[in-house]
Amino acid sequence: MRKLLLLLQIILFGLTSKAQDTLWVKKADGKAFVIHKVKSGEDIFLLSKKYKVPPAALADANNLNYQGGLASGTIVWVPVDNYNFIRIESVVKSKPIYYKVGRNEALKDVTRMINVAQSTLQMWNHMSEQDIFPGQVLQIGWIAFDDTQVPFSATSGNSDVSGLTQKQKGVIGYPGPKPQATVVDSVKTKAGLNESSANEENDTIASPYEQLYETQTMGNASNNESGAAVFYPLKMKMAEGIYYAFHNTAAKGTIIKVMNPANGNFIYAKVIGTIPKLGDYNNCIIALSTNAAKGLMAKERRMFCKIEYQ
């Protein structure tokens, strides 16, 4: 009898451990995110290495300052995209990811979220039919996952959470761009550029928007424009490689490639709205967040540029 109870305990422990280790995906705005609960000592950089996601993309998805700390228990939404999504189980360090079907969801909705064929999803889940039901658990692929990334010591000074909002201290955040109102309000300050930042040596920063630009354009941007770009001031601190733009015809969420013909530098900026109807922006084709000046090595608040987008 004791042996039977011991065996049941071992089985139960194994099932519980497996459930705790399972990587679950949630959908927001049609995109897939793995939900991660922060452990003591973890920060944006460690999580970016663990899940193979650019630090700036991870910070942007959670509206966090990527140079700040993370409180233990904070829920972080980890983007699942081309940089970490794996369609074939391989020798690369990875873990399977699972999704629980929601109400009124069809198989095509799930496949669209992760950009795989319905037949592939059926194969992964041994499904002969395309019918799915609410609450059904599906394996939807694999994610690059490095379990050798160990959290820093909580006393090492890397887990400082002073200055974080209550929302960032353990409440589930909602992924997406920073609130547009914050950016629009900052435009009204009409402050000038910091010349020292514009003249600093340009460090190449990998942009999380570059991959999205390639996806949107499929290597062939259909819209090309030339004209003036104006840099608008920001009150908030921006993560490196994250640039926002105002444009009058490109839809919100469009990624625009902006080039400085004078030196060949270029950046990728995400459209968040139309150009403000203020005198400072007359006759410009695009308005860019101030931090883009460094990426383009612009020395003035207004510069000639070329842009491409879909």
Give tens-digit pLDDT for 220-261. Answer: 778 999 999 999 887 666 677 788 899 999 998 899 999 999
- Dist. CA 42–CA 63, nearest whole Å: 17
Alpha-helix residue ranges (DSSP H) falling in 22-149: 44-51, 55-61, 107-114, 118-124
Per-residue model confidence as pLDDT tens digits over 20-32: 478 999 999 889 9
pLDDT score for 246: 92
Please say if the pLDDT value at position 88 is more than 60. Answer: yes
Name the segment(s) of the chain with CATH classification 2.40.40.10: 180-309
Q: Which amino acid is at 209?
A: Y
pLDDT score for 171: 35
Q: Which of 57-71, 86-100, 277-291 has the highest mean pLDDT?
A: 277-291
Cα 54 to the center of its chain, rounded Å: 8
R_g of the chain, CA atoms, integer Å: 23
- Dist. CA 195–CA 5, nearest whole Å: 73
Give me the CATH topology for the region 180-309: Barwin-like endoglucanases (2.40.40)
Please say if the pLDDT value at position 185 is more than 60. Answer: no
Q: 45 or 237: which carries more pLDDT confidence? A: 45
- Dist. CA 286–CA 247, nearest whole Å: 5
Environment class of 12 (CB within 10 Å of its CB; exposed 0-12, middle 13-18, buried 19+): exposed
- Dist. CA 256–CA 276, nearest whole Å: 18
Please say if the pLDDT value at position 269 is more than 60. Answer: yes
Contact by Cβ (8 Å): 152, 41:
yes
Please say if the pLDDT value at position 309 is more than 90. Answer: yes
Q: What is the mean pLDDT of residues 199-227?
A: 72
pTM comes to 0.47
